[in-house]
Amino acid sequence: MDELSGRTFLSTGVDGVPIPGGGPLRIEFNEDGTLSANAGCNTVFGGVRFEHGRIITGELASTLIGCPPETAGADEWVNSMFVDEPEWTIDGNELVLRTGDRTVTLLDRVEAMPDRPLQGTEWVLRSIITSDSVMSSRAIDESEPLLLIDSDGQVSGSTGCNRMNGSASINGDEIRFSPLATTRMACIDDRDEVERAVLSVLSETNVRASIEADTLTLMTEAGNGLTYVARE
């Protein structure tokens, strides 16, 4: 359905059966005729079609991560909604889904969570991407590597161990970092590994940046990258 294809929606309200853990429900309608949905724990995904004003998915596949206790019922909440083949209506950026026991109001992600600007936002590292994995760790969370590119292209922040500074030129989604200067403190625990990963990406000639809401992803041509979130 053209009105939904390529769009992502986030729930802003639920009447009836609430989302365990509070959500929000996030639904992505992909241009290839599939969707994915998440309400706080695992992500379900699969084909979707629209018939007689209803969203029909059939059985959905799912990721298999463990859910914290407060969101333990979120996966079943999502699955039960799609089993009931919800009726849907859309008015501009507002999507409403209705089943027998709930009405879910969602807003287009672009309006609900606008993309943060690359420059002037302080970004905190959340994960390291390699060609075959995405890694989060206690060392990343505790060291909080930072990246800030100001309006003049000046770069500052930290590797999670040492401070760093330099400059960057931005052309569309391409960033070219100058060689970054860092302090020379010895890194403890696993922070040296985090530092190497950060500097490895930021020292590449061509780094591609993509922003969705409050998340910045930097990727190199080799398939390595960094995922940051905006600091509130």
Q: What CATH number corresponds to the domain at position 27?
A: 2.40.128.270
Q: What is the pLDDT of residue 67?
A: 82
With respect to residue 62, please indicate whether it lies within any of the assigned structural domains.
yes
Looking at the structure, tell me whether residues 97 and 42 fall in a common domain: yes
Encoding tokens for residue 203? 């020292």
Q: 35 and 67: one domain? A: yes
Are 207 and 136 within one domain?
yes
Residues 25 and 87 in one domain: yes
Tell whether 72 and 161 lie within a shared domain: no
User: Based on the domain organization, do 101 and 142 belong to the same domain?
Assistant: no
Same domain, 171 and 219: yes
CA 192 – CA 209 distance, rounded (Å): 24
Specify whether 133 is located in the same domain as 179.
Answer: yes
Query: Smallest Cα–Cα separation from 182: which of 162, 209, 212?
Result: 162
Pairing of strands 163-171, 154-158: antiparallel
In the chain, the number of structural domains is 2
Residue 2 lies in a domain: no
Q: Are 34 and 57 in contact (CB under 8 A)?
A: no
Q: Are residues 142 and 54 in the same domain?
A: no
The answer as to whether 1 is a domain residue is: no
User: Mind listing the pLDDT tens digit of every residue in the chain (232 residues)?
Assistant: 679 999 999 999 999 999 999 999 999 999 999 999 999 999 999 999 999 999 999 899 999 888 888 998 999 999 999 999 999 999 999 999 999 999 999 999 999 999 999 999 999 999 999 988 888 888 999 999 999 999 999 999 999 999 999 999 999 999 999 999 999 999 987 899 999 999 999 999 889 999 999 999 999 999 999 999 999 8
Same domain? For 127 and 194 the reply is yes
Instruction: Convert 189-212 to b/e letters by CB count within 10 Å (16 or more is b).
Output: eebbbbbebbbebbebeebebebe
**End position of a domain, from candidates 112, 133, 153:** 112
Same domain assignment for residues 136 and 161:
yes
Domain that holds residue 142: 122-230
Q: What is the pLDDT of residue 188?
A: 84
Q: Looking at residue 1, what is its pLDDT?
A: 66
Domain end among 112, 146, 180:
112
* Residue 46 placed within a domain: yes
Does residue 117 belong to any structural domain of this protein?
A: no
- Judge whether 181 lies within some domain: yes
206: in domain: yes
The residue among 83, 112, 141 that closes a domain is: 112
Distance CA 129, CA 135 (A): 6
Specify whether 145 is located in the same domain as 101.
no
